[in-house]
Chains A and B, each alone.
Chain A
Amino acid sequence: MSDIVTTKEKYPAGDFGVWIIIYIELVTFAMLFVGYAFSRRADVELFNQSQLMLNQTSGFINTIILITSSYFVAKAVQAVKSMDETNYKEFNKKASKWLIFALICGATFLLVKITEFSHIFGEGINLSTNKFFMFYLLLTGFHFMHVMLGSIILFNIFMRTRKFGYTPEDTRGIESGASYWHMVDLLWIVLFPLIYIIR
C-alpha cells in the first residue's frame, strides 16, 4: 500500500484582506438572493410574467463567458505558481496570454449586459416598475459593477505580468485578483438560475 500524504495550505491564496471583502460580498448578495426568493413567493404571477421579458439566451451566454473567464484566470495563476527563478519570465508571459483571454471575456460580458440593459430601459422599465424589476436591476446592476472592478483588477495584473513582475516569492497580487474574479463568477452562478430560469 502506498502512503500518499497531501499537505494542505494553512491559508487561502492571496491577501487576507481580499478574503474579508469576498466574505462581505457573499453575505450582501445572499441577502439580495433570499430577498428576491421570498418576494417572489408573495407574488409568483407577477414575477413569472415579468421574467418573460428577460432574454434567457443573453443570461446563458454571460454564464458561459464568466465560467470561461474564470478558467482562463485559473490557468494564469497555475502558470505563475509553476515558475522558478530560472523561468519566471517565460511563465509571466504565459500568464499574460491567459489574462488577455480573461479580459476579452470580461469585456464581452459587459457588452452583452449593456445590450440587455438598454433593451430593458428602452421598454420604459426602471427600479419602480415592479418588485421583480427592482430586484433584477439591483442584483444585475450591482453584479455588473463587480465585473467592471474585476476587469480593472485583471488589467492591472496583466500589465504586471507584461513587466515580468511576478516571481516565485511574490505571487500574492495575482492570487488575490483571481480570487476576487472567481467570487464574481460564483455570484453569477447563483444569480443566473434564480433570476432567469426558475419560474
Chain B
Amino acid sequence: MKKILEIIWIVLIALTLFAYLLGYLKYIDSALVSILLLTTFIKGALVSDHFMGLKSVDSKYRVVPIIWLSIVLSLIAIAYYL
C-alpha cells in the first residue's frame, strides 16, 4: 500500500486526540485508563512497526519494542489498579 505512512500518521493523530479529550474533559475513570493504555500500546506498536520499519525485519528485533511496551504499560496498569 502506497499511502501506508499517511494512514499510520492519521491513526496516531486520532488516538492522541482521543487521549487529550479524555484528559481535557476530566473524563478519566478506571475503565477508561485501560482503554487509554491500550491505545498507547497501539500507537507505540505502529511507530516501531511502520516508522522504525521493524515490521519488515526478523521477528526477534520486531518484538523488542513490543515486549518493552507490554511490560511498561502492564506495570503502569498494575500500579494504577492494585
Binding site for B on A (CB under 8 A): 6, 8-13, 19, 23, 26-27, 30, 33-34, 37-38, 40-41, 56-57, 60, 63-64, 67-68, 70-71, 73-75, 77-78, 178-179, 182-183, 185-186, 189-190, 192-194, 196-199
Tell me, in angstroms, the Cα distance from A178 to B51 when the chains sit together.
9
The answer on a CB contact under 8 Å between A186 and B48 is yes
- Whether A8 contacts B57 in the complex (CB less than 8 A), given A68-B9, A194-B76, comes out as yes
Q: Which residues of A contact B57 (CB under 8 A)?
A: 8-13
What total of chain B residues lie within 8 Å of the partner, measured CB to CB? 45
Secondary structure of the B contact surface, majority rule = helix
How many Å from the CB of B63 to the closest CB on chain A? 12
Q: A56 touching B23 by the CB < 8 A rule?
A: yes
Partner of A185, one of B20, B24, B47: B47
Contact yes or no, A192 B19, CB < 8 A: yes
**A–B Cβ pairs within 8 angstroms, 18 of them:** A8-B57, A9-B57, A10-B58, A12-B57, A34-B75, A37-B80, A60-B16, A60-B19, A67-B13, A67-B16, A67-B47, A73-B51, A186-B48, A190-B73, A192-B16, A193-B23, A197-B22, A197-B28
